[in-house]
Amino acid sequence: MNQPIGIMDSGVGGLSIASVLIKKLPNESIIYLADSKNCPYGEKSKEEIYSLTKKMVKFLLKSRIKLLVVACNTITVASIDRLRTEFGQIPIVGIVPVIKTAREKTTNGKIGVFSTTATANSFYQKDLVNKFANDCSVLNLGSERLVPLIEKRNFESVDEVLKTELEPFKKAQIDTLALGCSHFPLIKDQIQRYLPGVLILDSSNAVSRQIQRILKQNKTLSNSTNPSYNFYTTGNLNALRYFAEKLTNKAKLSRISLQ
Ligand code: DGL
């Protein structure tokens, strides 16, 4: 069956998931949708996020996707349950930081979680921390400055922001950091430079394993030898092009507006 997998994010961040999926499931076609025009989502109310998200889902459903990846921590935290209720016709996979893995990997019991401010402050995330790492010292911090800078590919300013915003993690002597925003794996090397020796974990591998499991279970794994990769954005095509063309030379890029 060669129906595509749909991936959506408020911007280019979900490409960190697309990148792993293209490598791990090379027969699968992908439709990626970035709502870069409305990015960042973190500053919006839950209702606003849900109404924007619904438009994205409807667009992807028209493309007959067989599974939806909500490759955005902010949308997952704000709306995953509602999305699953309203769009029960397809499996929906969300993204959360891999706190359980961080708990397994830490050797000094000091863990960091780095997300957008909205995600860091959410009950959803605080619950995850309590559930999976309540016997560790966990520093759960957010940044709202990085996502817009990554969208603009302003890596110099990213560096300046990281210098100050990663300092508390350094002071707390964490040895493991779980990324709680899908944009952040795109600047993993820059983060690593400020936190040398710290193990940085993103959620892409966990999400891709989950997707593989669901497709296998539903017998909807593709065996196509010629998968397609369509990338759509509601905003600036250059940002999407910059990151998407690093993933595949078969990227088809388009700008759209959502109804
Ligand atoms: N990639 C989104 C996330 O994982 C960015 C959030 C935003 O747009 O504020 O949370």
**C-alpha of residue 223 to centroid of ligand 1, in Å:** 32
Q: Check pocket membership of 116 for ligand 1, CB cut-off 6 A.
A: yes
Q: Check pocket membership of 42 for ligand 1, CB cut-off 6 A.
A: yes
Q: What pLDDT score does 130 carry?
A: 96
Segments of the chain with pLDDT less than 50: none
Residues known to be catalytic: 72, 181
Q: Check pocket membership of 40 for ligand 1, CB cut-off 6 A.
A: yes
The residue count of the chain comes to 259
**C-alpha of residue 115 to centroid of ligand 1, in Å:** 8
What is the position in ligand 1's atom list of the atom closest to the CA of 183?
A: 1
**C-alpha of residue 251 to centroid of ligand 1, in Å:** 22
Q: What pLDDT score does 2 carry?
A: 78
Which tokens hold the place of 49? 């996020």
State which H helix or E strand residue 127 sits in: helix 123-133
Neighbour count for residue 165 (Cβ, 10 Å): 18
Q: What pLDDT score does 136 carry?
A: 96
Looking only at the bridges linking them, the beta strands covering 67-70 and 92-93 are: parallel
User: Helix count (H) and strand count (E) of the chain?
Assistant: 12, 10
What is the position in ligand 1's atom list of the atom closest to the CA of 72?
A: 4
Q: Distance between CA 1 and CA 221 in Å, rounded?
A: 7
Q: Check pocket membership of 91 for ligand 1, CB cut-off 6 A.
A: no
pLDDT in tens, 232-243: 999 989 999 999
Specify whether the CB–CB gap between 67 and 211 falls below 8 A.
Answer: yes
Residue nearest to atom 2 of ligand 1 (CA): 72
Q: Check pocket membership of 13 for ligand 1, CB cut-off 6 A.
A: yes
What is the position in ligand 1's atom list of the atom closest to the CA of 40?
A: 8
Q: Distance between CA 92 and CA 103 in Å, rounded?
A: 26
CA dist list (Å): 156 to 10, 15, 153, 163, 165 = 22, 21, 9, 11, 14
Q: What pLDDT score does 64 carry?
A: 94
What is the position in ligand 1's atom list of the atom closest to the CA of 181?
A: 4
Contacts of 135 (CB under 8 A, 6+ apart): 109
Q: What pLDDT score does 1 carry?
A: 59
